[in-house]
Structure 1
């Protein structure tokens, strides 16, 4: 992992002092864009605020405010004795039938998983309806915290039929649920999914290392195999500061 500020030297800043957009915000936007493009990679240092303010002809408070806004977003981190470093870019996940683990791995985000719960429970009404099982019938519930670069991105709650496949904590912490399904010969064919947003509760904020009331993205999904059987029902929450859904809209021909 890089440990110098050589990446910062490749960033070309363009600040418009006549613009109504505050200079700190312009600087923050351009730093964030450099992180998104990979010009600034995880581990790159920004140097100190004085050097950057001299280079750009900005006041030190302006530079400090820009950096703090990206620290608040989780893109930068301040470390004693090291300075300010790039942590990661925001995760942008395509809207397709894929697992978060696979998408993070493909994006070079080094995903890790902590299993908080994995047990058989009676199916609540909404889960029973989604999976097509009797209300109160046995299903397996999985609660997992998905992280990248050591920081949480999402809290995942999934329900699967108990007879679907053998699940264990070790496997769930080393790979994704959909990858386990594919390895078991299950072909994922389609899904119904809804996306929303809300504010984090105190418990969710503590779990995701956010502040209470922070914006969260929500997702509910029911996935089906190639026989039409519902094989998974998930309710997930994502840190909006670190995660976005990315999709393309096409007009009529």
Structure 2
């Protein structure tokens, strides 16, 4: 005698007109899979295959709960799971939106601007600082140049396709390059260094994480306390001179680092 299959409840969910309202979510109350996970899984699939494109806005939790005949906490749990994965973002005054796929950047001696261009994105920069200033305590040590008196300070917000991705901070020994704001908006730092005849050779880099401060949140369009990736990099030319020290923060919801590992000697 065959075991009867659990009854399946099929619910059609109509999304806002800009989303093409023919989409639907299928729920199976008899499945061992929790209902919130069924909703989350199917929304995830729709985001991954492009049925829910970047920038699309979800109906609010009350509407989704009513359309799916689920409780609001169940819908909230489903949405939060996708927020935690970086696929959805909650914005004040806007609602819950689909975000773009994360930028996966290989670790190599290149600038973020160049990598974003190579990945097919349209990078842009807002220049917040581009000035020569007295070297503060500790900065000559970062640049490994004892006696250094002045440095160039750069601060930029790097965006891709109009969405903020990172805040980039750099110190350079004064005189290495003298870029205009326009050059910093249109080109990557390493491209500018190479154009000035600097032969980049190697870099030391540390990657970490922290939570967004109020200032970070404002600059990156994130919520305070959101996860951020951090990077510190010291770059050397072919003579062993430090040509830049950078400390940057990236939105963890939009950005990853890729590392290639090989088996070395034992």
Q: TM-score range by the shorter chain?
A: 0.7 to 0.9
- The reply on whether 1:17 has 2:28 as its aligned counterpart is no
Alignment of 1:114-125 (within 5 A): 114-125=126-137
In 1, the alpha carbon distance for the partners of 2:154 and 2:124 equals 15
Query: How many Å apart are 1:86 and its aligned residue?
Result: 4.5
In 1, the alpha carbon distance for the partners of 2:139 and 2:48 equals 37
1:44-82 CA-to-partner distances (Å, cap 9, x unmatched) read 788999xx99xxx88585567545654676645799xxx
RMSD of aligned residue pairs (Cα, Å): 3.9
What is the TM-score when the length of structure 1 is the normalising length? 0.75
Query: How many Å apart are 1:156 and its aligned residue?
Result: 0.8
Q: How many residues align?
A: 246
- The reply on whether 1:197 has 2:214 as its aligned counterpart is no
What is the TM-score when the length of structure 2 is the normalising length? 0.72
Partner of 2:234: 222
Mark the runs of 5 or more structure 1 residues left unpaired by the alignment. 10-15
Partner of 1:207: 219
Partner of 1:160: 172
In 2, the alpha carbon distance for the partners of 1:48 and 1:153 equals 26
Query: How many Å apart are 1:144 and its aligned residue?
Result: 0.5
In 2, the alpha carbon distance for the partners of 1:60 and 1:192 equals 51
Partner of 1:251: 263
**Secondary structure at the counterpart of residue 132 of structure 1:** coil
Query: How many Å apart are 1:250 and its aligned residue?
Result: 2.8
Partner of 1:147: 159
In 1, the alpha carbon distance for the partners of 2:160 and 2:229 equals 17
Q: 1:68 to 1:45 in 2, by over 3 A?
A: same
Query: How many Å apart are 1:98 and its aligned residue?
Result: 1.4
Task: Work out which of the two has the higher radius of gyration on C-alpha atoms and give 1 or 2.
Answer: 2
In 2, the alpha carbon distance for the partners of 1:182 and 1:37 equals 39
In 2, the alpha carbon distance for the partners of 1:191 and 1:36 equals 35
1:198-253 CA-to-partner distances (Å, cap 9, x unmatched) read 12222222222222222211110001112211111001111112211121333347
Partner of 1:127: 139
